């Protein structure tokens, strides 16, 4: 993870733009941050606070320079301490920032230590800084290239040195990095968002690229074997958007994003006329005809979107569908089938495990790939044959909300397309499903109106240490998502179970102290779910039930019911997740947590 920004300019102090860039990249990690500049040598300011405090420190220290690098960290090697914060220096010679993990850093560290190098941090990054210096004989580019020939792992780096006040060398392998081309200045960043307003000309570096940046221009080299060959890369003219989105009447981005869902879902459907494979790309028609299996790969909340849609794809399109956690799939021996549609689902399109899993599937001969993603320029979209771009808009809260419901919207649309191609969708069903889908934004608005009732529940949840979530069928992944939301932002331990599995273990946990959140739509499993609720009641468990209007479930001594406005048939999961998001949000807020930046987490996980 981590966010990096670098700049070299002929005519201005780059520190304000570096700090601005860091603020926009804080979603990538916020354990610590730092800026280094060239100003008659190497100067830096580092902090374990947020970028806003770093900025005050920078003003106090009057840090300025025409060349600089900046970093916001999500800790992997070494605690979030100032000594582990980037930029790392090697003596007074080399300054370096890094996003990623250097896998063989221990052996290199030992070698360098044997040569007398002193280390001041526990990071893998500092090792790389010293390795560059070890190879430095007056040519920074050559030293970085030589160092990169030694390291294994994933990285996006930016380096400068004391002897060269204008040159920044950057490189990427497995972690995102984009160049920005200015007038008399050059930039690099983990995300174009960091450079919004500074330039509209961008170059997406490819894996193995090293770029030599000077204010007046740049040269890119591709790492092939141990050689670095000069290459050209396309310059794209595009407007980058910053995440400097107004909060409006909301306290947090998460709350704002929960309430944006009707708009986000409507936007995701905006360009959809009829149900046709071309919505997913020119070749989708042929591909959908050819495949006879679906394999979905994702992480976190996106994984739960995949898990939900498995129920749709099998029930409506009649296609066998497997769902895998990316970090598991990429390392296990699986049986590839080239007639599989491999679908990666990702808000960011940059999650390292999902991206690697996509490449792994392709290496196994499965070339029919589709990415459902919220960022059209992301690596996953670029790597896939087909794509569907959700229109959630920039999501800032680390806990994903509107990305999830727009993913579900896209996945339902995909289900209909697959069903149509496979001859399993009558004109009448198509019409009925599409009407239902187009009505979702309105239905979500009605659910959002339940907020005051959910706040009353959150008051009680705030003092709890554990919570259990139950669902059945297609609402089991919704229970999983509800538990994930609660644990990641309120820090209350939460687990989700398919309700029928309760008696095989988790029932042992049930007593008066544990709230049991139950997702209770009026579907064919309702009676079974009611029996599971009785099992909880008999053990004096406290049930908190989100029940569809016509379920007959009423509040009583140990059962608290919030009534959902309407039953929504196959699209019910999209509605039932909304109150679970609200419950997590308000519980975390009452507990005084930093809702948008929960401890130890980051929005975009670009390391393994």
The tokens of 292 are what?
């006879």
Does residue 522 belong to the site contacting ligand G6P (CB under 6 A)? no
Active site residue 2: yes
Least spacing, CB of residue 356 vs ligand G6P, in Å: 12
Backbone angles phi, psi at 155, to 5 degrees: -160, 150
Least spacing, CB of residue 577 vs ligand G6P, in Å: 13
- Contacting range for ligand G6P; rule: CB under 6 A; set: 49-57, 294-302, 491-499, 510-518: 294-302
CB 167 within 8 A of CB 124: no
Active site residue 23: no
Q: Which of 72, 84, 308, 346 is in the footprint of ligand G6P by CB under 6 A?
A: 346
Closer by beta carbon to ligand G6P, 306 or else 316:
306
Does residue 300 belong to the site contacting ligand G6P (CB under 6 A)? yes
Does residue 252 belong to the site contacting ligand G6P (CB under 6 A)? no
Q: Which of 90, 145, 354, 368 is in the footprint of ligand G6P by CB under 6 A?
A: 354
Does residue 301 belong to the site contacting ligand G6P (CB under 6 A)? yes
Least spacing, CB of residue 359 vs ligand G6P, in Å: 15
Backbone angles phi, psi at 293, to 5 degrees: -140, 160
CB 98 within 8 A of CB 126: no
Q: Which of 51, 370, 385, 605 is in the footprint of ligand G6P by CB under 6 A?
A: 605
Distance CA 96, CA 92 (A): 12
Q: Look at strands 340-346 and 386-389 and give their pairing.
A: unpaired
Does residue 299 belong to the site contacting ligand G6P (CB under 6 A)? yes
Q: Single out the residue of 321, 310, 314, 378 nearest to residue 346, CA to CA.
A: 378
Closer by beta carbon to ligand G6P, 354 or else 490:
354
- Contacting range for ligand G6P; rule: CB under 6 A; set: 3-11, 293-301, 535-543, 588-596: 293-301
User: Please, is 465 exposed, middle or buried when counting C-beta atoms within 10 Å of its C-beta (0-12, 13-18, 19+)?
Assistant: exposed
> One of 2, 161, 299, 417 is an active-site residue; which one?
2
Does residue 371 belong to the site contacting ligand G6P (CB under 6 A)? no
Q: Single out the residue of 239, 179, 248 nearest to residue 214, CA to CA.
A: 179
Q: Which residue is nearest to ligand G6P (CB)?
A: 300
CB 388 within 8 A of CB 239: no
Residue 410 neighbours by CB under 8 Å, 6+ apart: 268, 372, 388, 390
Alpha helices in 12-155 (DSSP H): 15-25, 51-61, 105-114, 124-134, 140-148
- Contacting range for ligand G6P; rule: CB under 6 A; set: 67-75, 287-295, 298-306, 432-440: 298-306
Compose the 372-411 pattern: x for residues touching ligand G6P by CB under 6 A, - for all others. --------------------------xxx-----------
Closer by beta carbon to ligand G6P, 417 or else 489:
489
CB 357 within 8 A of CB 329: yes
Distance CA 580, CA 517 (A): 9
Write out the catalytic residue numbers. 2, 603
Interface with ligand G6P by CB under 6 A: which residues? Answer: 299-302, 346-348, 351, 354, 398-400, 601, 603-605
């Amino acid at each position: 993870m981590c966010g990096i920004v670098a700049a070299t300019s002929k005519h201005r102090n780059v520190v304000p733009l570096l700090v601005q860039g860091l603020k926009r990249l804080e979603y990538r990690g916020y354990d610590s941050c730092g800026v280094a500049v060239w100003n008659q040598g190497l100067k830096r300011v580092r902090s374990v606070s947020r970028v806003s405090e770093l900025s005050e420190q920078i003003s106090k220290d009057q840090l300025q320079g025409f060349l600089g690098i900046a970093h916001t960290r999500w800790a992997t090697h070494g605690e979030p301490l100032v000594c582990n914060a980037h930029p790392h220096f090697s003596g007074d010679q080399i300054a370096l920032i890094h996003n990623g993990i250097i896998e063989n850093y221990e052996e290199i560290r030992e070698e360098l230590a044997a040569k007398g190098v002193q280390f001041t941090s526990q990071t893998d990054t500092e090792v790389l800084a010293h390795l560059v210096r070890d190879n430095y004989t007056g040519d920074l580019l050559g030293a970085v290239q030589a160092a990169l020939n030694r390291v294994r792992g994933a990285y996006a780096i930016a380096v400068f040195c004391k002897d060269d006040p204008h040159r920044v060398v950057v490189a990427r392998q497995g972690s995102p990095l984009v160049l920005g081309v200015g007038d008399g200045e050059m930039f690099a960043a983990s995300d174009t968002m960091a450079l919004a307003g500074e330039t509209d000309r961008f170059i997406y570096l490819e894996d193995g690229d090293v770029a030599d940046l000077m204010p007046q221009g740049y040269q890119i080299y591709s790492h092939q074997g141990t050689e670095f060959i000069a290459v050209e890369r396309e310059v794209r003219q595009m407007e980058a958007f910053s995440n400097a989105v107004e909060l409006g009447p909301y306290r947090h981005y998460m709350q704002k994003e929960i309430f944006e869902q009707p708009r986000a879902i409507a936007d995701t459907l905006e360009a959809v006329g009829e149900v046709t494979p071309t919505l997913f790309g020119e070749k989708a028609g042929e591909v959908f005809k050819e495949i006879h299996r679906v394999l979905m790969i994702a992480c976190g909340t996106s994984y739960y979107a995949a898990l939900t849609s498995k129920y749709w794809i099998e029930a409506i399109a009649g296609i066998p569908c497997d769902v895998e956690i990316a970090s598991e799939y990429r390392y296990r021996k699986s049986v590839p089938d080239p007639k599989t549609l491999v679908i990666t689902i990702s808000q960011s399109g940059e999650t390292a495990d999902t991206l690697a899993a996509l490449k792994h599937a392709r290496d196994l001969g499965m070339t029919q790939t589709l990415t459902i993603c919220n960022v059209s320029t992301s690596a996953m979209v670029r790597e896939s044959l087909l794509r569907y771009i959700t229109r959630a808009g920039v999501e800032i809260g680390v806990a994903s909300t509107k990305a999830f419901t727009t993913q579900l919207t896209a996945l339902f649309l995909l289900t209909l397309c697959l069903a149509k191609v496979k001859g399993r969708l009558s004109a009448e069903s198509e019409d009925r499903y599409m009407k239902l889908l187009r009505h979702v934004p309105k239905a979500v608005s009605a659910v959002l109106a339940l907020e005051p009732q959910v706040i009353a529940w959150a008051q009680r949840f705030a003092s709890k240490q554990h919570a259990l979530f139950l669902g059945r069928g297609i609402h089991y992944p919704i229970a999983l998502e509800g538990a994930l939301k609660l644990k990641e932002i309120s820090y209350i331990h939460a687990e989700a179970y398919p309700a029928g599995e309760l008696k095989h273990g988790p029932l042992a946990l049930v007593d008066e102290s544990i709230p049991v959140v139950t997702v209770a739509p009026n579907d064919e499993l309702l009676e079974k779910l009611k029996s599971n609720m009785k099992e909880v009641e008999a053990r004096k468990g406290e049930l908190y039930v989100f029940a569809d209007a016509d379920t007959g479930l009423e509040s009583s001594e140990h059962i608290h019911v919030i009534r959902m406005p309407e039953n929504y048939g196959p699209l019910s999961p999209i509605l039932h997740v909304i109150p679970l998001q609200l419950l997590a949000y308000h519980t975390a807020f009452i507990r005084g947590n930093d809702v948008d930046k929960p401890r130890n987490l980051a929005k975009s996980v670009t390391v393994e």
